[in-house]
Chain A
């Protein structure tokens, strides 16, 4: 079957989705995917980031599809023509979804362990706006402890539900899922049980944002200060491939993750023993440095591109110490509580 995406044609097997076809072509036409994960069944269709315009349904039925389609779950038809990067409608829709994803996101990248390898950062870098139109209070959740290995930050979650599929498909007993509905929907274990399963750590790898992070790596380092190496070991856990990426700081292994490809998806899932317990260099056979995209912040560890000066839109002269500005930039007086006054 022949599919044309942004004017580039590719031959695909029946049953291929538009997103998979776009990834076969590669380049800028690949729609961003926040919830779709090729290694997990039943993912996709939720985040609406990968919307594309189908300008010609198929050779047999050339009518265009009236709505934008989620490319990760729409199958290709012979002779289909798709506009991704080329379509203004698609660009608008992606901007809209990015804005929606960000309005309730805490934007705490400076203290988030995912920063630097976060899909939401990539998405907002490409489609986001520098200012916000959301002046309301952001929605927040009560913190929940889900065990000593995985840190859950529900406020950062974009509800892609990949982690639910990990639990469903990799572990033998799912103890977490989506609770509540609407914008109060949350990933939770319901009874605050610890998620304790040999493959539960893969939730961290599949999480596109910093909602699920490695507790053993928490606040240890920014990801771009680590040197990533591909490594493997003979793992005896059934189902574990033993092929990982080690994130090193000097001779210290600070973090172990699955090996991710250019779309942030792991090549194969690893067990919790490899991920959390093997932190000695002697445990691993190191294959060599991990390759990243040329522009990746992890690869560069510096900024080679010309960066534009950051302009902070504030009133002129506000920092000159005039009396009328003093109130605007100082904190409102908060009376100290009695027991704090010492």
Chain B
């Protein structure tokens, strides 16, 4: 049984309310933090080795230390709750069931950064969670944890929840800042980085919900304790949003370092494959990370066990590895059509591209159209090379990482499942009813596209 840092109290009845949360040791980290200097709090987070839980995995303490304190401008902390990655729903769970944990984390983190005005930017589709948070913030104000001179410490903090209007791109930190300022959510050009010029040109730190929610525990139990959980540079616990063809989908808190095999098959977590069908593929970290084929899920290419850590999941680079990303763990069994899945992801990125820079605006649409053609039986042999060529031209040439996120899944799907693309192109009759692979898994038809020399 792994330790539960974030979800430990989730089953206490009424934990949503301030009274119950406080009775169960809530807001203790704020009290402890006020006895420390802000730099000491930052130092604790640095020691903990906590890495950003939004997807990129950048060390949180390091990010905090980059914030420009010399300029004398007011600083801001923004919590990125614009969780829109397909397959990821951990932040919603956290905010919905234990909103005060996030608020506690926001107070402690804002104190460490010296921010007096902080924001939670939540996606527009989470309207009911927005209301939960609003209620929780009101309670926190009433109890004196927010506002002027918090608990007599002399520290002031105002916390606002801002609701987005439904754009994936606003999860990119600079687009989020633009949107928060009331503008169109277009990513900014970097540099300057938000740590120097962010919200209203003031130094700003943008952190994921889960990262901020981990801070109270780190402050209470010290960073050294936190660093003991997990393996090497992947410290602490991580929320995983497990979905797909597994027996028990849902949000799980794991200690980093659990093996992928255990996570999928143990009863504590996903409980094995649904209907006990064979595993075909895995997207371990949300739709933008490369997909893994069955033979690379439990073992890395080098033959080691694949673990749920930042390092192990990316072992082998993009050729044979993937990424932990935001923890959107999507499991596929043998009835899945990878082409259709790739097209679906591609359609999402096409829809969500902001339209600012050329490669992403035009390229995502092109990728989607070509994949749509292949999926519908109008593919051509050269389309596979075309897809690879388009994705390589988007990757790395865009302003923000959305272009990369759109191109990686396509590249990985072709890298590992090229035969399925060929099957779609050569046998349009077999895929026209969209039930291909349901009654006839790909393994049974693989021989059809085998290269034969006569």
Nearest-neighbour CB distance to chain A for B72, whole angstroms, equals 22
Binary interface encoding of chain B residues 340-370 relative to chain A, with 1 for a CB under 8 A from any of its CBs, else 0 = 0000000000111111111101111110011
Known: A97-B397, A133-B386. A182 touches B359 (CB 8 A): no
CB-CB under 8 A from B358, the residues of chain A are 46-49, 97, 100-101, 158-159
Q: How far is the CA of A182 from the CA of B346 in the complex (A)?
A: 13
Nearest-neighbour CB distance to chain B for A65, whole angstroms, equals 11
Number of interface residues of A (CB under 8 A): 35
Using a CB-CB cutoff of 8 Å, which residues 90-108 of chain A contact chain B?
Answer: 92-93, 96-97, 99-101, 103-104
Nearest-neighbour CB distance to chain B for A220, whole angstroms, equals 31
Nearest-neighbour CB distance to chain B for A52, whole angstroms, equals 12
The answer to whether A136 touches B369, judged by C-beta atoms less than 8 angstroms apart, is yes
Give me 13 A-to-B residue pairs in the complex whose CB atoms sit less than 8 angstroms apart, sorted by A's number: A45-B189, A93-B397, A97-B397, A100-B363, A100-B366, A101-B358, A104-B365, A136-B370, A136-B373, A159-B361, A180-B355, A181-B167, A185-B361
Of the candidates B184, B355, B386, the one whose C-beta lies within 8 Å of that of A182 is B355
The answer to whether B359 touches A48, judged by C-beta atoms less than 8 angstroms apart, is yes
Q: Which of B365, B396, B397, B398 has the most CB of A within 10 A?
A: B397
Known: A182-B354, A183-B350. A104 touches B362 (CB 8 A): yes
Q: How far is the CA of A70 from the CA of B190 in the complex (A)?
A: 10
In the complex, whether A125 has a CB less than 8 A from a CB of chain B is no
Of the candidates B353, B396, B399, the one whose C-beta lies within 8 Å of that of A46 is B399
Using a CB-CB cutoff of 8 Å, which residues 144-190 of chain A contact chain B?
Answer: 158-159, 161, 177-178, 180-185
Nearest-neighbour CB distance to chain A for B2, whole angstroms, equals 36
CB-CB under 8 A from B355, the residues of chain A are 159, 178, 180-185
CB-CB under 8 A from B9, the residues of chain A are none
The answer to whether A182 touches B396, judged by C-beta atoms less than 8 angstroms apart, is no
Of the candidates A49, A70, A73, A183, the one whose C-beta lies within 8 Å of that of B362 is A183
Known: A67-B396, A93-B397, A183-B350. A46 touches B362 (CB 8 A): no
Q: How far is the CA of A139 from the CA of B358 in the complex (A)?
A: 14
In the complex, whether B135 has a CB less than 8 A from a CB of chain A is no
In the complex, whether B248 has a CB less than 8 A from a CB of chain A is no
The answer to whether B189 touches A182, judged by C-beta atoms less than 8 angstroms apart, is no
Known: A103-B366, A134-B366. A48 touches B357 (CB 8 A): yes
Using a CB-CB cutoff of 8 Å, which residues 31-76 of chain A contact chain B?
Answer: 44-49, 51, 67-68, 70, 73
For A67, the closest partner residue in chain B by CB is B396
Can you add 5 more A-B contacts, CB < 8 Å, to A97-B359, A182-B365?
A: A46-B357, A67-B396, A96-B397, A180-B355, A183-B350
In the complex, whether B4 has a CB less than 8 A from a CB of chain A is no
Nearest-neighbour CB distance to chain B for A6, whole angstroms, equals 20
Nearest-neighbour CB distance to chain A for B215, whole angstroms, equals 31
CB-CB under 8 A from B184, the residues of chain A are 177-178
Nearest-neighbour CB distance to chain B for A181, whole angstroms, equals 5
Q: How far is the CA of A134 from the CA of B184 in the complex (A)?
A: 30
Interface size range on B against A: 20 to 34
Q: Which of A47, A100, A161, A178 has the most CB of B within 10 A?
A: A100
The answer to whether A48 touches B352, judged by C-beta atoms less than 8 angstroms apart, is no
Q: How far is the CA of A51 from the CA of B395 in the complex (A)?
A: 13
Nearest-neighbour CB distance to chain B for A41, whole angstroms, equals 13
CB-CB under 8 A from B363, the residues of chain A are 100
In the complex, whether B393 has a CB less than 8 A from a CB of chain A is yes
Q: How far is the CA of A177 from the CA of B405 in the complex (A)?
A: 27
The answer to whether A182 touches B364, judged by C-beta atoms less than 8 angstroms apart, is yes
Query: Considering the complex of A and B, which 5 residue pairs feature the smallest CB-CB distances, nearest first?
Result: A185-B355, A96-B393, A100-B362, A182-B353, A183-B365
CB-CB under 8 A from A44, the residues of chain B are 189
Of the candidates A46, A100, A136, the one whose C-beta lies within 8 Å of that of B393 is A100
The answer to whether A182 touches B397, judged by C-beta atoms less than 8 angstroms apart, is no
The answer to whether B354 touches A48, judged by C-beta atoms less than 8 angstroms apart, is no
For A136, the closest partner residue in chain B by CB is B369
Known: A158-B358, A178-B184. A99 touches B393 (CB 8 A): yes
Binary interface encoding of chain A residues 171-212 relative to chain B, with 1 for a CB under 8 A from any of its CBs, else 0 = 000000110111111000000000000000000000000000
The answer to whether B397 touches A68, judged by C-beta atoms less than 8 angstroms apart, is yes
Nearest-neighbour CB distance to chain A for B177, whole angstroms, equals 16
The answer to whether A182 touches B399, judged by C-beta atoms less than 8 angstroms apart, is no
Nearest-neighbour CB distance to chain A for B186, whole angstroms, equals 8
Q: How far is the CA of A267 from the CA of B62 in the complex (A)?
A: 46
Q: How far is the CA of A158 from the CA of B362 in the complex (A)?
A: 10
For B369, the closest partner residue in chain A by CB is A136
Known: A100-B359, A182-B361. A48 touches B396 (CB 8 A): no
Q: Which of B363, B373, B398 has the most CB of A within 10 A?
A: B363
Nearest-neighbour CB distance to chain B for A119, whole angstroms, equals 13
Q: How far is the CA of A97 from the CA of B397 in the complex (A)?
A: 9
Q: How far is the CA of A47 from the CA of B352 in the complex (A)?
A: 18
Using a CB-CB cutoff of 8 Å, which residues 113-141 of chain A contact chain B?
Answer: 133-134, 136, 139
Nearest-neighbour CB distance to chain B for A43, whole angstroms, equals 11
Q: How far is the CA of A61 from the CA of B366 in the complex (A)?
A: 39
Q: How far is the CA of A158 from the CA of B386 in the complex (A)?
A: 23
Q: How far is the CA of A96 from the CA of B359 in the complex (A)?
A: 8
The answer to whether A183 touches B353, judged by C-beta atoms less than 8 angstroms apart, is yes
Q: How far is the CA of A55 from the CA of B353 in the complex (A)?
A: 30
CB-CB under 8 A from B365, the residues of chain A are 104, 139, 182-183
Nearest-neighbour CB distance to chain B for A276, whole angstroms, equals 31
Q: How far is the CA of A181 from the CA of B184 in the complex (A)?
A: 10
Nearest-neighbour CB distance to chain A for B242, whole angstroms, equals 30
Of the candidates A159, A182, A185, the one whose C-beta lies within 8 Å of that of B352 is A182
Nearest-neighbour CB distance to chain B for A158, whole angstroms, equals 7
For A93, the closest partner residue in chain B by CB is B397
CB-CB under 8 A from A161, the residues of chain B are 356
CB-CB under 8 A from B356, the residues of chain A are 46, 159, 161, 185
Q: How far is the CA of A158 from the CA of B357 in the complex (A)?
A: 9
CB-CB under 8 A from B399, the residues of chain A are 45-46, 48, 70
Q: How far is the CA of A44 from the CA of B366 in the complex (A)?
A: 24
The answer to whether A48 touches B398, judged by C-beta atoms less than 8 angstroms apart, is yes
Binary interface encoding of chain B residues 167-192 relative to chain A, with 1 for a CB under 8 A from any of its CBs, else 0 = 10100000000000000100001000
CB-CB under 8 A from B357, the residues of chain A are 45-48
For B354, the closest partner residue in chain A by CB is A181
Q: How far is the CA of A67 from the CA of B357 in the complex (A)?
A: 15
Binary interface encoding of chain B residues 384-405 relative to chain A, with 1 for a CB under 8 A from any of its CBs, else 0 = 0010010001001111000000
CB-CB under 8 A from B397, the residues of chain A are 48, 51, 67-68, 93, 96-97
Nearest-neighbour CB distance to chain B for A58, whole angstroms, equals 13
